[in-house]
Amino acid sequence: MNPAKDALRRTLRERRRLLDPALRAAETAATAAALATLVRLRPRVAVYLATGAELCVDAAVTAAWARATAVWAPRVAGDGLEWIAITGPADLTTGYRGIREPRQDLPAGPLPTACLVLVPGTGFAPAGARLGQGGGFYDRTLATLDPASLAVGIGFACQWLTELPCEPHDQPLDATLIAGRLHPGTGRPRSGR
């Protein structure tokens, strides 16, 4: 464990938890509008299912289903995530740590190529830096994404910092969408995997 990261996570979680409800709604709406554009550009999208005070992307999921865009959601499997195609709210249940995830009877498979991958986080910074929850679940997923996929971190303005502590296992994002504003990242390595 990294004590500096742990302390920063606690601070950022508290900021997010205490966010004014009107500001939370406005930033969520701005993010939903920006995501609608991104989702239109990609025929496949992998989403996270918000928990606690995370920025909820359910509107993007609903819009994707309305456009017949294929949607994948994660399910915790051991120390990683497995991805499941979902077609509606009935495909979801309460799972790991009370987080919504696809039902156990739905088959897992690899994420498709050229997928838009929405990534949650506790904190974000320029160049695609991301501070996750500390379990490494999304870092492991990001490390295996195909080069044509686009990994975009999603968060509130209170989660945006000028810099974050990073370690070798921390995976950069291609971009970050903060309160509806897209910030380019340096991106993930695009060479063969």
Domains of the chain, first to last: 3-12+44-184 (3.40.50.10420)
Per-residue confidence (pLDDT) for residue 193, from 0 to 100: 37
| pLDDT at 69 > cutoff 90 | no
DSSP state of 52: T
Tens of pLDDT, residue by residue over 110-160, are 899 999 999 999 999 999 999 988 788 999 999 999 999 999 999 999 999
End-to-end CA distance of the chain: 28
Between the CA of residue 16 and those of 48, 53, 107, 117, 121, what are the distances in Å? 17, 6, 34, 22, 11
- Helix spans in 18-133 (H): 21-41, 58-66
Distance between CA atoms of residues 151 and 17, nearest Å: 25
Find tokens 């070798």 and name the residue: 168
Q: What percent of the chain has pLDDT over 70?
A: 96
For range 69-98, the mean pLDDT: 92
Convert the pLDDT of each residue in 149-164 to its tens digit. Answer: 999 999 999 999 999 9
pLDDT category at 57 given cuts 50, 70, 90 is very high
Between CA 47 and CA 64, with CA 30 as vertex, the angle to 5 degrees is: 35
Please determine, for residue 192, whether its predicted confidence score (pLDDT) is greater than 50: no
pLDDT of residue 179: 96
